[in-house]
Structure 1
Amino acid sequence: MNAPQVLTAERTPEQKRAAVRRHLLRQLIVDLVLPLGGYYALRAAGVNPWLALIAPSLLIAGIVAYHAIRERRVEAFALFTLSMIVVGTLMTLVTGDPRTLLVRDSWIFGVLGLWMLGSLLTQRPFMRTASRALVTAKIGEEGYRRWDARWDNDSRFRSNLRVLTAVWGTAFTLDAVVRVLLAYTLPIDAIPLVSTLQWLVVLGAVLVFHNIYVTKHGLKA
């Protein structure tokens, strides 16, 4: 008796778009809604600025750790984010200054930007690593392996990923400088909103470039 065959149908374009939307929605909630919404909700309830800043950070750290345990795989980006949250929280506990925690975002973006730029010297530039979650969400693990295998035999693929990494790294590094200036010049309650808005402008500009570049150079999964 023949063993039953396992059929793996190719995902339709609509299924791919839906998977990407779900992935981006999760990122939006963790990166924007929880920290910003949590801060202002706690401040409206009369919580002091220090606790209002640290509570959402601890929640995000828990979410990152939960996903790492559930998926039995630690993403480099998630581990980096979690470590920076912990470091920033500990420094705030030592100094007792809410602005220290606000500058933590600058550390995250600044160090991440430098990490991206440094990864250009390796065989795994940041964009190659960071694409795993999105490509996997879009076309599955096997699809990601096929996409990533292009690195070994396609010089243009390698060059294009390095260009994207350089653009993202530069944007994150420059954004960190702006965040530091905001953290030490604006009123505390204004910093989370203004900092988030300016980041959305930067992110929007980089995403537009990213999408155009990826489409033009055939990098889409």
Structure 2
Amino acid sequence: MTTNTGSQVRKPNMLDTFKPLLIDGAVPLGSYYVFKDALGMSTFAALAWSSVVPAVRTVWSLVTERKTNGLAGLILVVNVISLLLSLVSGDPRLMLAKDSGVSSTVAIGILVSVWLGKPMMTAGMKPFLIKGDAAKEAAWQRLASGAAAGSAAFRRKENAFSLVWGVVLFAECVARFVGAYTIPVDTMVWLGSVFMVGAMVIGFVVSGGLAVEPMERMLKAEVEAGRVDQQAVAVAA
């Protein structure tokens, strides 16, 4: 039986991990058209001001909530550096190409974390699979620590989840960069968001089938194994 000790806790959602990427893709897109079409700014000025919006949003979130998502921090750093470089050059295509820097920074960070054996995406996936269940939390710890029979397979799937996202985001980075210098600027402004959404869909589908679903089954089996062990200890006592 689960006891409710206070206000209802919202169930974790894996989308929360990617919320900064989603928001910082949608907000600049909408603000670009407001600045360019409604306010009559030049293409470069509209791109510049629309890039400032997500940076300000991230800083505001940090100040008011006194915390920041890891991806949001990466996005802020890349946006600020790229924006400064773009302002120096005055090139709207470089302004668009900076978006690929966000994807590449996140992608490389994820891939390096897999290589180091500390997959970055686990932080977003684990709450989604555990859902606040103490038995699942204990099962996860046994599987992740090597104490369970299925630990090796579990760790491979954990690494596979981050690997999929690293590859998908890196592919999106390449697509954005190539598009920034080969596709008309006005078209690439909205097409960049299409690339991002497409990458997210591919990432969720592939990582779900390759890693999330098998890990859910492994967790369920380990929970049952833990209950059997507890019953055996109780009988023996």
TM category (shorter chain) comes to 0.7 to 0.9
Q: Give me the CA root mean square deviation.
A: 3.5
* Residue identity opposite 1:37 in structure 2: G
- The count of aligned residue pairs is 208
TM-score with structure 2 length normalisation? 0.72
1:176 aligns with 2:173: yes
User: 2-side partners of 1:207 and 1:66: how far apart?
Assistant: 29
SS of the aligned residue for 1:203 comes to helix
Q: Structure 1 130/88 Cα, relative in aligned 2: closer, same or farther at 3 Å?
A: farther
Q: CA deviation at 1:57?
A: 2.1
What is the Cα deviation at residue 88 of structure 1? Answer: 0.9
Seq. identity, %: 24
Aligned counterparts, 1:1-221, within 5 A = 7-8=4-5, 16=11, 20=13, 23=16, 27=20, 30-45=23-38, 46-131=40-125, 135=127, 139=131, 149=141, 151-153=144-146, 154-212=151-209, 213-218=211-216
* Cα 1:22/1:115, change in 2 over 3 Å: closer
Deviation track 1:79-103 (CA, whole Å, cap 9, x = no partner) reads 1111001011110111011111100
> How far does the alpha carbon of each residue in 1:109-142 deviate from its partner, in whole angstroms, 9 at most, with x for none?
123212211111224312124447xx38x957x9
Tell me if structure 2 keeps the 8 A contact 1:113–1:170: yes
Contact 1:77 1:130 in 2 (8 A): no
Structure label with greater radius of gyration: 2
What's the TM-score, normalizing by structure 1? Answer: 0.77
Structure 1 unmatched runs, 5+: 1-5
C-alpha displacement of 1:104: 0.4
Inter-CA distance 38–122: structure 2 relative to 1 (3 Å threshold): same
